[in-house]
Amino acid sequence: MAQVREHTDEVLDQPLFWREADGGDPPVLYLHGVPTTSDDWLPFLARTGGLAPDLAGFGRSGKRGDLDFTMTGYDAFVERFLDHVEVPRVRLVVHDWGVVGLLWAQRFPDRVERLVVVDGVPLLGGYKWHPVARAWRTPGVGEFVIGLGIRRVASRFGPEAILGPAWQYFDQGTQRAILRLYRASPEDALARAGLDLGEITCPALVVWGDRDRYIPPRFADAYAQALGGEAEVVRLPEAGHWPWHERPDVIDTITAFLDE
């Protein structure tokens, strides 16, 4: 098992926190979703090595109010992070809103050697936001839900083992980042954001829990069809939005694909 190291630097006058472990070449870049942090990827880093940042607004990275918490802003964050760590090419693994890495990958497809999408927010047509997201997108309602009721609501949709570590960082800065991201991302904007997914031609693996309460599993096949290269789909009937929690062998599956 690789030893996982932690780093904090100042980038654009804001903290940038990431985890790193020695592994293959090119390194694996892991991008987490909402409302979690790079904690999601600790069991993966120990197996494959790689890099896992806390996205801007989450965990121990910067949360200043003037940051750009939109898809465009997170696309720029991924590019800036890779420039900072001086990594030209990656094997990319994304979960949930970690699909902001696909925005970067559409612009730089030659920098992605292999791709894994795990229960990703659909940058595709036909998706409708789930009830919690619709609440977050509604001014006033969103502030109430995220400020007072999010942990009770989330406990119905995700395992405490995954969500629990995120709550220590779930401050007003993270809440602001989430509300801005969702309010800047109507369904038609998601579809537009993925128009160039066909430019990503590297081998891909799409992993999906069929019990995902946020995103219907049909989007696993939709992602595989939208990507430009050969894509394998793994559907997990007994798993939810964080499928490696219910099925630890998912880590084996993803590791084997990354190492092919």
Rounded to whole angstroms, the Cα distance separating 119 from 111 reads 22
- Topology of domain 4-259, CATH: Rossmann fold (3.40.50)
Is the full-model pTM beyond 0.85? yes
Beta bridge partners of 21: 4, 50
Q: What is the pLDDT of residue 2?
A: 83
pLDDT in tens, 18-64: 999 999 999 999 999 999 999 999 999 999 999 999 999 999 999 99
Asked if residue 248 has pLDDT above 60, the reply is yes
Please determine, for residue 209, whether its predicted confidence score (pLDDT) is greater than 90: yes
Q: For residue 106, what are the CA distances in angstroms to 28, 38, 79, 140, 158?
A: 17, 23, 12, 35, 30
The DSSP secondary structure of 155-208, one letter per residue, reads TTTS-HHHHGGGGGG-SHHHHHHHHHHHHT--HHHHHHHTTTGGG--S-EEEEE
Alpha carbon 52 to its chain centroid, in Å, reads 10
Domain boundaries, the chain: 4-259
- The mean per-residue pLDDT over the stretch 144-162 comes to 70
Band of pLDDT at residue 245, cut at 50, 70 and 90: very high
Task: Report the pLDDT value the prediction gives residue 153, as an integer from 0 to 100.
Answer: 53
**pLDDT tens digits for range 211-227:** 999 999 999 999 999 99
